[in-house]
Protein backbone atom coordinates (compact mmCIF):
# COMPACT_ATOMS: atom_id res chain seq x y z
CA UNK A 1 0.00 0.00 0.00
CA UNK A 2 1.23 3.47 -0.86
CA UNK A 3 1.60 5.95 2.02
CA UNK A 4 -0.50 9.08 1.82
CA UNK A 5 1.69 12.12 1.31
CA UNK A 6 0.92 15.81 1.36
CA UNK A 7 3.94 18.03 0.92
CA UNK A 8 1.98 21.27 1.31
CA UNK A 9 3.60 24.67 1.64
CA UNK A 10 6.75 24.83 3.71
CA UNK A 11 6.55 27.31 6.56
CA UNK A 12 9.41 28.77 8.54
CA UNK A 13 9.26 28.67 12.29
CA UNK A 14 10.29 32.30 12.71
CA UNK A 15 8.59 33.86 9.71
CA UNK A 16 6.89 36.45 11.88
CA UNK A 17 9.92 37.45 13.95
CA UNK A 18 12.50 37.71 11.22
CA UNK A 19 10.77 40.40 9.24
CA UNK A 20 11.63 43.24 11.61
CA UNK A 21 15.12 44.60 11.06
CA UNK A 22 16.94 45.26 14.30
CA UNK A 23 15.26 42.49 16.30
CA UNK A 24 18.28 40.22 16.21
CA UNK A 25 19.13 40.87 19.88
CA UNK A 26 16.11 39.13 21.40
CA UNK A 27 16.45 36.22 18.95
CA UNK A 28 20.12 35.79 19.81
CA UNK A 29 19.38 36.00 23.54
CA UNK A 30 16.63 33.40 23.16
CA UNK A 31 19.04 30.99 21.46
CA UNK A 32 21.70 31.63 24.10
CA UNK A 33 19.17 31.00 26.88
CA UNK A 34 17.88 27.88 25.12
CA UNK A 35 21.42 26.49 24.97
CA UNK A 36 22.11 27.61 28.56
CA UNK A 37 25.24 29.49 27.59
CA UNK A 38 26.35 32.64 29.41
CA UNK A 39 27.37 35.78 27.54
CA UNK A 40 30.95 35.25 28.70
CA UNK A 41 31.05 31.63 27.54
CA UNK A 42 29.60 32.56 24.14
CA UNK A 43 32.07 35.43 23.83
CA UNK A 44 35.01 33.14 24.55
CA UNK A 45 33.80 30.55 22.03
CA UNK A 46 33.20 33.17 19.33
CA UNK A 47 36.43 35.12 19.98
CA UNK A 48 34.58 38.24 21.10
CA UNK A 49 33.86 40.02 24.39
CA UNK A 50 30.96 39.57 26.77
CA UNK A 51 30.34 43.31 26.49
CA UNK A 52 29.92 43.06 22.72
CA UNK A 53 27.49 40.14 23.11
CA UNK A 54 25.54 42.19 25.65
CA UNK A 55 25.45 45.20 23.31
CA UNK A 56 24.16 43.03 20.45
CA UNK A 57 21.44 41.50 22.63
CA UNK A 58 20.35 44.92 23.92
CA UNK A 59 20.33 46.53 20.48
CA UNK A 60 23.21 48.91 21.22
CA UNK A 61 25.42 47.26 18.61
CA UNK A 62 24.69 45.75 15.22
CA UNK A 63 26.66 42.55 14.62
CA UNK A 64 28.48 42.00 11.37
CA UNK A 65 27.24 39.21 9.17
CA UNK A 66 30.37 37.19 9.95
CA UNK A 67 29.93 37.69 13.71
CA UNK A 68 26.29 36.67 13.56
CA UNK A 69 27.12 33.47 11.67
CA UNK A 70 29.93 32.71 14.12
CA UNK A 71 27.61 33.18 17.11
CA UNK A 72 24.96 31.01 15.48
CA UNK A 73 27.56 28.31 14.83
CA UNK A 74 28.69 28.29 18.46
CA UNK A 75 25.09 28.19 19.66
CA UNK A 76 24.34 25.30 17.31
CA UNK A 77 21.43 27.20 15.75
CA UNK A 78 19.67 25.21 12.98
CA UNK A 79 20.30 26.46 9.44
CA UNK A 80 16.75 27.70 8.88
CA UNK A 81 16.94 29.70 12.11
CA UNK A 82 20.31 31.12 11.07
CA UNK A 83 18.53 32.59 8.08
CA UNK A 84 16.00 34.12 10.49
CA UNK A 85 18.81 35.68 12.52
CA UNK A 86 20.39 37.10 9.37
CA UNK A 87 17.07 38.53 8.19
CA UNK A 88 16.39 40.07 11.60
CA UNK A 89 19.78 41.80 11.44
CA UNK A 90 19.07 43.11 7.95
CA UNK A 91 21.23 40.67 5.99
CA UNK A 92 20.27 38.36 3.17
CA UNK A 93 19.77 34.67 4.00
CA UNK A 94 22.79 32.44 3.41
CA UNK A 95 21.04 29.11 3.20
CA UNK A 96 18.49 28.05 0.62
CA UNK A 97 15.18 26.66 1.85
CA UNK A 98 14.03 23.76 -0.28
CA UNK A 99 10.46 22.50 0.01
CA UNK A 100 10.06 18.75 0.44
CA UNK A 101 8.24 18.41 -2.88
CA UNK A 102 11.21 19.83 -4.80
CA UNK A 103 12.58 17.35 -7.40
CA UNK A 104 16.06 17.58 -5.85
CA UNK A 105 14.67 15.91 -2.71
CA UNK A 106 13.19 12.88 -4.48
CA UNK A 107 15.63 10.58 -2.68
CA UNK A 108 14.65 12.02 0.71
CA UNK A 109 10.94 11.66 -0.04
CA UNK A 110 11.50 8.09 -1.17
CA UNK A 111 13.32 7.33 2.07
CA UNK A 112 10.51 8.84 4.13
CA UNK A 113 7.93 6.79 2.23
CA UNK A 114 9.89 3.56 2.80
CA UNK A 115 10.36 4.36 6.46
CA UNK A 116 6.72 5.02 7.27
CA UNK A 117 5.53 2.12 5.11
CA UNK A 118 7.83 -0.15 7.12
CA UNK A 119 5.87 0.64 10.28
CA UNK A 120 2.57 -0.67 8.88
CA UNK A 121 0.19 -1.83 10.27
CA UNK A 122 1.24 0.54 13.08
CA UNK A 123 0.73 4.28 12.65
CA UNK A 124 3.59 6.51 11.53
CA UNK A 125 3.46 10.25 10.87
CA UNK A 126 5.96 12.74 9.49
CA UNK A 127 5.48 16.30 10.71
CA UNK A 128 7.06 19.60 9.75
CA UNK A 129 8.45 22.29 12.06
CA UNK A 130 4.91 23.52 12.77
CA UNK A 131 3.80 19.95 13.65
CA UNK A 132 1.58 19.77 10.58
CA UNK A 133 1.32 16.22 9.22
CA UNK A 134 3.11 16.05 5.86
CA UNK A 135 3.10 12.28 5.45
CA UNK A 136 1.35 9.33 7.06
CA UNK A 137 1.13 5.61 6.49
CA UNK A 138 -2.09 3.61 6.15
CA UNK A 139 -2.04 2.63 9.82
CA UNK A 140 -2.36 6.22 11.01
CA UNK A 141 -5.69 7.28 12.52
CA UNK A 142 -5.87 10.30 10.22
CA UNK A 143 -5.89 7.89 7.30
CA UNK A 144 -9.04 6.00 8.23
CA UNK A 145 -11.64 5.72 5.50
CA UNK A 146 -13.77 8.52 6.96
CA UNK A 147 -10.94 11.04 7.11
CA UNK A 148 -8.65 10.21 4.19
CA UNK A 149 -9.43 13.49 2.50
CA UNK A 150 -7.95 15.38 5.47
CA UNK A 151 -4.78 13.33 5.82
Q: Is the pLDDT of residue 2 over 80?
A: no
From edge to edge, which strands make up the β-sheet containing 4-5? 4-5, 133-136, 125-127
Work out the mean pLDDT of the chain and round it to a whole number. Answer: 81
pLDDT computed for residue 99 by the predictor: 80
97 band by pLDDT with thresholds 50, 70 and 90: confident
Sign of CA dihedral 57, 129, 83, 71: positive
Q: What's the pLDDT tens digit per position in 98-135? A: 887 888 888 988 999 999 999 999 999 988 878 888 88
pLDDT computed for residue 22 by the predictor: 54
pLDDT average, residue stretch 7-32: 61
CB 27, CB 84: distance < 8 Å: yes
pLDDT average, residue stretch 12-24: 49
Residue 4, SS3 per DSSP: strand
CB 24, CB 18: distance < 8 Å: no
Domains of the chain: 4-12+97-150 (no CATH), 24-88 (1.10.260.40)
pLDDT computed for residue 13 by the predictor: 39
Q: Tell me which of 141 and 149 has the higher pLDDT.
A: 141
Q: Tell me which of 22 and 88 has the higher pLDDT.
A: 88
pLDDT computed for residue 18 by the predictor: 40
Q: Let me know if 111 is exposed, middle or buried by CB neighbors in 10 A (0-12, 13-18, 19+).
A: exposed
| β strands within 54-150, DSSP E | 125-127, 133-136
Max CA separation in the chain (angstroms):
60
pLDDT average, residue stretch 90-99: 86
Can you give the C-alpha Rg of the chain in angstroms? 20
Q: Is the pLDDT of residue 58 over 80?
A: yes
Amino acid sequence: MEPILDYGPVMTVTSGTASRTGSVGPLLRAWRDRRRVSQLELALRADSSARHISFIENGRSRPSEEMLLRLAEHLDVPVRERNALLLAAGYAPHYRETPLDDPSLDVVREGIERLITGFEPYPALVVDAMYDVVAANRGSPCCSRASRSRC
